[in-house]
Amino acid sequence: MAQITLSKLFQKYTDAYAAAICGILVIFGWLCLYFNWSGLALLILTAAYVIGGYESTKEGLTTLWREKELDVDLLMIIAALGAANLGLWQRDYYLIIDGAILILIFAISGALESFARKRTERNIKSLMEVTPDTARVIHDGREKQITIAQLQVGDIVLVKPGEMIPTDGLILEGETAVDQAPITGESIPVDKTIGDEVFAGTLNGNGVLQLKVHQHPESSLIQRVIRLVEQAQTQAPPSQQFVERFERGYAKVIVFLGVILGTLPPFVLGWDWETTIYRMLIFLVVASPCALMASIMPTLLSGMANGARKGILFKNGAQLEKIGRLKAIAFDKTGTLTMGQLEVVDIIPAAQYSTEQVLELAAAIESGSEHPIGEAIIQAATEAGVSWPSATHIQAKTGRGIVGEVAGVRVTVGKALEIPCSAELKAASNSLETSGKTVVWVSLAEEVIGLIAVADTIKPEAANALASLKQLGIAATAMLTGDNQRTAQSVAQTLNLDRIHAQLLPEDKLAVITHLQHKYQNVAMVGDGINDAPALAAATVGVAMGVSGTDVALESADIILMSDNLAKLSQAIQLGRRANRIIKQNITFALSFIFLLLIANFTGNINMPLGVIGHEGSTVLVILSGLRLLL
């Protein structure tokens, strides 16, 4: 069993192990040369070349064979082998180490790319685990457990209280309140009755439901989410395509110039062949893009480490670069801009009644309820130090509220009642609902004694966080939510958001992100739920809440705010912008230095040791420059 586990582990991280082994071998090879054990050093460095350069050689030759294109992988192998041959020719074995270091850099890059591919696979697996594997189907009046894949259109599925709904379906029998937050992002459970549609992956409340399967499980909402995430994560961004084209163009130019330098000088400049080959090999070493590649990755890794210290987790360096270019940011509402938990925000008693009396009777009836509104009322009563009497004959009325008796008198807590009440209470209710709050009426016998307003409150830091984004020059901020327009409007006005998109399903959120990208190019999505996963994956940068975020959101996102603090978002943008400035500085320096080394080589003012020193020295300098982001 241990051998099987180790075998799977090795297969999973082959590229990372190859890079690590290559690095160890390079160090041991250098130590052997230091102690003049040249024979052992050659053996060890040969192993480093083979282990570290295998994947790059395979990819380079594959690209050459299938696409008839040269890329940096093949150029790296040519430069490394050139350095090795020159080292053997001149008995200067330290030149072989130079080639080995070049191979090591590309091996590390390959390991990072492999990790990114495996992350996509984990994203899809997490989504698939959201829904149950089986469903309880009724055939000929008897219950039978079958797999989701066996479900057919027209099957009757039984869902008991508190269970996860296994597939999309229409309610044939039963009433309940369904927690749809994982799928649609709605902060309050939605009342469902006969004829309503429910979604796979949502949580049934207290009712017993019989559902009719009206479409194949492969067409369910959660399955569409899975496909959207797959498509979004396999689309290469334009910047990545540009880098790939640049690498191949660079490789072609260097190889072309190398061939010219290795053949024409004897005929044009009168060089002897030994000098020509020597200059060509120096050219391959100094033109190797080590400094150019090192201009980017150490900077991004340093920025990632800096972000981690501040509670900002970047899953890869590319996202640090991208977040510094953002022009627009879209936010989910529930759990991102708001707390994601209902609270009592207002209690308005009728004349001759007190706030405590209204809260006391409401808590008495709601004490046995598992509904989020009831839990909010109980929490408010507890925090206010209000004690409530026991209630009897409690009965939930789906879609209307809950009723019971206190000291033999009927008490109702729920939606607007068909009982006369004062104009003041009606006006207060209208005002509260207009502001996006949910109003619960409380009546004693046939008299309305007051109303209670509950809402998902805005996070304390949200307003300042959004204001700081405006100061950073973010052109547009938008809110994407499954909640109703009225609630969304209230939150948006409070936070001064530029755009509002309400009553959205996951695919609708993805469509909004796509539209924003057409207008602003670089767009971030900030969210925490399953319903945000496609938008998180498709956005230029996906940002998830680390504490409240679902597993799917955390996997789909590129950046995680570990403390759920939105103020960290502006810090991440500033860090990304600083990283981009340093990268530009490094690239300018690296290309300029390569150009100077090439000129020195053509004029004969540089030998191989100086070429190697210049090549490695420029690489070290840009790495040290990138490490500035650690400060």
Residues annotated as part of the active site: 332
Amino acid making up residue 234 = T
What contacts 491, CB < 8 A, 6 or more positions away? Answer: 333, 337, 338, 436, 458, 479, 497
Asked whether the beta carbons of 607 and 279 are under 8 A apart, the reply is: no
Cα separation, 24 vs 27, in Å, equals 5
DSSP result, 16-70: HHHHHHHHHHHHHHHHHHHTT-HHHHHHHHHHHHHHHHHHHHHHHHHHHHHH---
d(C-alpha 284, C-alpha 95), whole Å: 12
**Which residues are CB-neighbours of 535 under 8 A, at least 6 positions away?**
330, 480, 506, 509, 510, 512, 513, 525, 527, 542
Chain centroid offset of residue 118 CA: 14
In one-letter notation, the amino acid at residue 479 is: M
* Three-state secondary-structure class, residue 223: helix
Tokens of 628: 């500035």
Torsion of CA 73, 79, 85, 87, to 10 degrees: -120
Round to whole Å and give the CA distance between 104 and 107.
Answer: 5
Strand order in 328-332's β-sheet? 312-314, 559-561, 541-545, 523-527, 328-332, 476-480, 499-501
Q: If you ran DSSP here, which 8-state letter would residue 342 be given?
A: E
The Cα 384–Cα 438 span in angstroms is: 20
Could you give the CA distance from residue 566 to residue 329 in angstroms, rounded to a whole number? Answer: 12
- The answer for residues whose C-beta is within 8 angstroms of residue 444's C-beta and 6 or more apart is 361, 409, 410, 411
Structure tokens at 127: 């989504």
Q: Which two tokens stand for residue 299?
A: 């900077």
Q: How far apart are the C-alpha atoms of 345 and 454, rounded to whole Å?
A: 5
What is the C-alpha separation between 112 and 293, in angstroms, rounded? 14
